[in-house]
């Protein structure tokens, strides 16, 4: 995905812009934790300089220098020489011993974490505030056919930033609509590499989920990464452990649960009701977060703490809402949007778009003929997915027969009889 740009062509900067801390106190975490990071990083590097360590740990040189002076006093380092005005140094024997002890506890030697308190403040400050109208929404959904009626339901739901329940028969674009919601955000946010809780490190920034954007601001605290707002999509694979902290036994590092990685963005539960975890379990797990915008996580040894739940949850399902959740829970999902089967005119628009995009030669009345084929044998609804799916089959037929793809009535008959199960 490419980064969103503002109208001026420049990447927008987050409203939250922390300055680079120039002292240990300003970092907001304990000096011992910073010492641990420096000794572990130096063990990995072998020999290093103040500026190289500062770059690796994403802190300022004065912070590393403060730790270095302490290590020198304690005879934990040996200076090998100078590189310009910078010290070139390595661990002493006792420094190496301390480093391997600290390494047994945790192997984390990456970007210095931010405090939980600072993370709370940043997430609140960066909560999405949308100004959007039908025209802007139409722009975001420009590559799919969406009715004005549906846009006029989506608009207020997105502005409210409350959770959304999208339901209706399968094949009408619920997932496509949910995934395009992210396009309405034109801004960027800062996400920390890691957060410290009770001297434990929780890693948050995940390049698989978070799309980093280059920033020109050299004064922003480098422990934060400028990113597009995240969008996490989970389907049937969702299990309860994905919503809790996960400790990697080997490294001693916690990895943030999905909803924490999705903070300040979207969390889409696709095919809701078909997860390995039951709808009831998921809804019970999130009843407080959806209501109060906070969640509670627990460290391995029982310490419980609060994190922000500043995200928009979108449930997408083709099951009946009343079969999935009781009244009390459905009340907490304030926006319920029904995506209905498509009308003949919308079906024809989708058909024209698909055929045009794929350059499939079609007879003039092909859309109408396909509609008739889709509605025979007791079927009563047209679905948005039919034109694309049938085109896939037509392409396979033509490849099988070694000819150019075409859309004749016999071809459409053949494709639809392959596509629809006999009732």
**Cβ–Cβ contacts within 10 Å for residue 26, how many?**
14
DSSP-assigned letters across all residues of 234-282: E-TT--GGGGS-EEETTTTEEE--HHHHTTTSEEEETTTT-SSS-HHHH
Please report, for the chain, how many H helices and E strands are present, in that order.
17, 17
Beta bridge partners of 212: 227
What pLDDT does residue 422 have?
77
d(CA 357, CA 334): 37
**What is the pLDDT, as a whole number, of residue 234?**
93
- Would you mind telling me the total number of residues written for the chain in this entry? 423
Q: How many CA atoms lie within 13 Å of 253's alpha carbon, on the beta-carbon side?
A: 17
Residue 297, CA distances (Å) to 305, 306, 312 in order: 6, 6, 19
388: Cβ contacts below 8 Å, ≥ 6 apart: 350, 354
pLDDT computed for residue 313 by the predictor? 93
Distance, CA of 155 to CA of 81 (rounded, Å): 63
pLDDT of residue 100: 94
Which residues of the chain fall below pLDDT 50? Answer: 1-9
The pTM for the full model equals 0.88
DSSP 193: S
The whole-number pLDDT of residue 13 equals 67
- Which residue, chain included where needed, has tokens 């209905």? 340
**Model confidence pLDDT, tens digit, residues 3-29:** 333 333 455 666 788 999 999 999 999
Main-chain phi, psi angles of 256, to 5 degrees = -65, 145
CA torsion angle 137 138 139 142 (round to 10): 130
Please give the distance of CA 264 from its chain centroid, rounded to a whole number.
9
Radius of gyration of the CA atoms of the chain, in A:
27
Count CB-CB contacts under 10 A for residue 210: 21
Contacts of 164 (CB under 8 A, 6+ apart): 157, 158, 312, 313, 314, 315, 333, 335, 336, 337
Structural domains in the chain, sorted by start: 30-111 (1.10.10.10), 118-338 (3.40.50.300), 344-419 (1.10.8)
């Amino acid at each position: 995905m490419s980064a969103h740009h503002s109208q001026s062509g420049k990447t927008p900067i987050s409203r939250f812009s922390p300055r680079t801390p120039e002292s240990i106190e300003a970092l907001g975490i304990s000096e011992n934790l910073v010492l641990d990071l420096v000794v572990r990083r130096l063990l990995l590097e072998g020999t290093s300089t103040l500026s190289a360590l500062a770059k690796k740990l994403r802190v300022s040189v004065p912070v590393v220098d403060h730790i270095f002076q302490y290590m020198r006093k304690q005879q934990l380092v040996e200076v090998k020489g100078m590189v310009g005005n910078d010290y070139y140094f390595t661990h002493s024997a006792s420094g190496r011993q301390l480093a391997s002890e600290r390494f047994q506890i945790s192997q984390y030697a990456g970007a210095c974490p931010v405090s939980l308190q600072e993370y709370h403040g940043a997430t609140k400050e960066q909560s999405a505030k949308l100004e959007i109208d039908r025209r802007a929404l139409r722009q975001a959904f420009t590559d799919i056919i969406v009715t004005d009626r549906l846009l006029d339901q989506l608009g207020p739901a997105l502005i409210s930033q409350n959770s959304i329940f999208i339901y209706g028969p399968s094949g009408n674009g619920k997932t496509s609509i949910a995934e395009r919601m992210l396009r309405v955000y034109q801004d960027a946010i800062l996400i920390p590499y890691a957060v410290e809780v009770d001297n434990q490190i929780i890693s948050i920034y995940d390049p698989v989920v978070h799309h980093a954007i280059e920033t020109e601001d050299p004064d922003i605290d480098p422990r934060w990464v400028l990113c597009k707002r995240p969008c996490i999509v989970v389907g049937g694979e969702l299990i309860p452990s994905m919503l809790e902290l996960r400790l990697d036994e080997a490294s001693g590092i916690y990895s943030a649960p999905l909803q924490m990685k999705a903070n300040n963005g979207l969390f889409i539960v696709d095919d809701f009701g078909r997860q390995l975890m039951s709808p009831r379990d998921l809804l019970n797990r999130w009843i407080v977060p959806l209501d109060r915008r906070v969640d509670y996580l627990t460290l391995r040894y029982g310490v419980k703490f609060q994190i922000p739940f500043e995200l928009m949850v979108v449930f997408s399902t083709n099951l009946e809402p009343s079969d999935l959740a009781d009244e009390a829970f459905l009340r907490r999902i304030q926006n319920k949007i029904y995506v209905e089967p498509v009308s003949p005119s919308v079906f024809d628009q989708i058909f024209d778009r698909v055929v045009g995009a794929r350059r499939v030669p079609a007879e003039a009345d092909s859309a109408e003929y396909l509609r008739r084929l889709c509605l025979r044998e007791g079927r009563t609804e047209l679905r948005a997915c039919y034109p694309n799916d049938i085109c896939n089959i037509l392409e396979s037929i033509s490849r099988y027969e070694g000819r150019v793809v075409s859309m004749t009535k016999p071809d459409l008959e053949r494709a639809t009889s392959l596509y629809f199960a006999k009732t």
